[in-house]
Structure 1
């Protein structure tokens, strides 16, 4: 048992590669809030290592900001509002420094604001935060990251360019932003400049972060719409394929069954022997039985596809799934169809021209399906539109073929041509029945593959020509 378990377990390298592939796949998916939280949390941890909190109160604030950042994917809107309010409230406390003001956490929060908030809220929140942060910094001497940076820069510039300044300016600039805050508020001649610069830069920084998050949201929504559209197109294509299956197999089988039943009623009307009549009737009944079962099987397959128990590809290409060469599949089908036509009293000719076995092309599944469906439709139309006389035989004399089908398969294309005689519809099986749109469906499918399908009716003759490139 142990040996089996060891053999069945994936090697460590394969497991690691699988995990790495899953991680890369997840990262390329639209998980913006989770990615934002991961990056923000990593930066906060790095900052705690590089610039650890200087007091227990700063340590408490550091863990508080990390908690807010980690919780963003679970309650994004609530924590976005709470985080911005908390950042403004903490700045009023007599605690200064990066950890007290929020630092990276507030940037992470505004990225989430742009992603999860409605448009009006995403515009109002950075504006309100910039105004309140600037007013608190200038008027109330509260902590501010950007305000402290600007005040420190102005103070340093003034210290280097002005003589006779206060002792504060004579001292070297401290490394912390709070020193810049204190210098800034001790220079009333620079208050207006600091106010405007702090307001504009704060609005620019957090407005940009908000716009960045909003851009990701629009991208995510566009991807979701594209995915829905792709799903709808796939569903429409699937339904169209099922319609093809029903039309090409079920409807065509029903037409053949109806014709065979009609023909069986007239067997023996030509004065043949009883044994010959019995054999012909038995052959027709066997053909009806086979066709009915084939149609029933196809209906069950369509139901299984709709219920999700069967894949559409398994229904579309029986010959391809069984590994049967395309030319063999065509030959078997046309032989069976010619046999049915003979039972119906419709005498025709089918010829297949194919490349040598050594140069027989590998026909793609899409071309195989389109060609086989068109061949099925051709024979079904011959059955439907064949003129029938009172005896049940084809109206065309036996010495002249009622139809001619030519199929050419080579390395470049599949070419299908068909000619049959036309007659008054009142003498055909279609009298009193609704016509379908089979050829229109086949034309669309063939043109989608780069091929052509042309039909015409001239001088009582129906002509069809199709070419499907490989």
Structure 2
């Protein structure tokens, strides 16, 4: 409450009212400080009448001063609110930039993993077969050459990403064609190495975003590489199914784990599926896998942002 002297005109009385109104305008609501201004104006006028010192001009001037104090307090409050909003906006922008940077790092890590460890697994397998079985090497070394060229291509793709060139925007190949080509290529490659199994696509044709397409194709490469890495080339079997729906893409894979198969420390990274799991979770999906009695089972679900579909 504002204490008002009724005995003499004091500048401290008006100054106290002005300060109180400014503080109220800064921290209170509009109805609160409007009512307070009316109370102060009426109180001052009533005081002036009671001490027989009423003057219209002075009363109006004091009321204008009260209003100016309210406006000044309100302007300070608005300025502080704008500063807080700008600070929050900058903080959110930094967080989004950090998230995008982490996604880019994860994307590059997966591509580096695909381009190096996957193709080097072929080279390691060929070397072990040559050492253990002494088979003719002309066809095998042709595979080594083919995958070394593929590694060069994938490294070039990584360079494109680093230079901000959007390869997906330039490509006119649809996701379904890329998916079928990849499955046919990897299945034929595994068959040539002695593995028994099948790959299949079930569901609708879909249009995937570049991020979804890249993750799905990269995960399939990783799964086929793991079949080759952990299975037996002569009696290992596998099944890989890609199930498509308007809202998601599901990838299921099973393969035998060769008994007693041991990889070198260089080949045992354990990072591939962990990177894919993290990336799929960031997209709102899931990736689960387990091994049981010599059988490896994996399930991944990637949500799709594009809802356009046509029947196969």
Structure 1 residue aligned with 2:280: 446
CA distance in 1 between counterparts of 2:129 and 2:89 reads 58
Structure 1 residue aligned with 2:164: 310
Q: Deviations over 1:145-199 (max 9, x none)?
A: xxxxxxxx99xx79xx89x999xx7xxx8xxxxxx4xxx4xxxxx9xx988x787
8 Å contact kept, 2:176–2:206: no
CA distance in 1 between counterparts of 2:264 and 2:237 reads 17
Q: Deviations over 1:123-152 (max 9, x none)?
A: xxxx9xx89xxxxxxxxxxxxxxxxxxxxx
8 Å contact kept, 1:384–1:430: no
8 Å contact kept, 2:103–2:279: no
How many residue pairs are counted as aligned between the two chains? Answer: 263
Report the Cα offset of residue 219 of structure 1: 1.5
Q: Deviations over 1:344-382 (max 9, x none)?
A: x33222231345xxx633344443223212211111111
1:374 to 213, 219, 239: 219
Consecutive unaligned residues of structure 2, counting only runs of 5 or more, are 1-14, 20-40, 305-312
CA distance in 1 between counterparts of 2:240 and 2:53 reads 105
Q: Which has the larger radius of gyration?
A: 1
How has the CA–CA distance of structure 1 residues 328 and 351 changed in structure 2, closer, same or farther, with 3 Å as cutoff? same
8 Å contact kept, 2:121–2:267: no
Higher relative contact order, chain-length normalized (CA < 8 Å, sep 6+): 2
User: What RMSD in Å do the two structures reach over aligned CA positions?
Assistant: 3.8
Structure 1 residue aligned with 2:33: none
How has the CA–CA distance of structure 1 residues 465 and 435 changed in structure 2, closer, same or farther, with 3 Å as cutoff? same
How has the CA–CA distance of structure 1 residues 463 and 321 changed in structure 2, closer, same or farther, with 3 Å as cutoff? farther
Structure 2 residue aligned with 1:383: 228
Report the Cα offset of residue 301 of structure 1: 3.5
SS in 2 for 1:370: helix
SS in 2 for 1:429: coil
2:262 to 414, 419, 428: 428
CA distance in 2 between counterparts of 1:261 and 1:165 reads 110
User: Does residue 226 in structure 1 map to residue 92 in structure 2?
Assistant: yes
How has the CA–CA distance of structure 1 residues 467 and 217 changed in structure 2, closer, same or farther, with 3 Å as cutoff? closer
Report the Cα offset of residue 460 of structure 1: 1.3
Report the Cα offset of residue 268 of structure 1: 4.3
1:456 to 280, 290, 296: 290
How has the CA–CA distance of structure 1 residues 296 and 351 changed in structure 2, closer, same or farther, with 3 Å as cutoff? closer
CA distance in 2 between counterparts of 1:464 and 1:165 reads 92
SS in 1 for 2:172: coil
CA distance in 2 between counterparts of 1:260 and 1:333 reads 21
TM-score, normalized by length of structure 2? 0.68
CA distance in 2 between counterparts of 1:434 and 1:374 reads 17
1:418 to 253, 257, 261: 253
TM-score, normalized by length of structure 1? 0.47
Structure 1 residue aligned with 2:186: 337
Higher helix share: 1
8 Å contact kept, 1:382–1:420: yes
8 Å contact kept, 1:301–1:310: no
Structure 2 residue aligned with 1:187: none
CA distance in 2 between counterparts of 1:429 and 1:292 reads 21
1:353 to 162, 184, 201: 201
User: Does residue 283 in structure 1 map to residue 128 in structure 2?
Assistant: no
Report the Cα offset of residue 239 of structure 1: 1.1
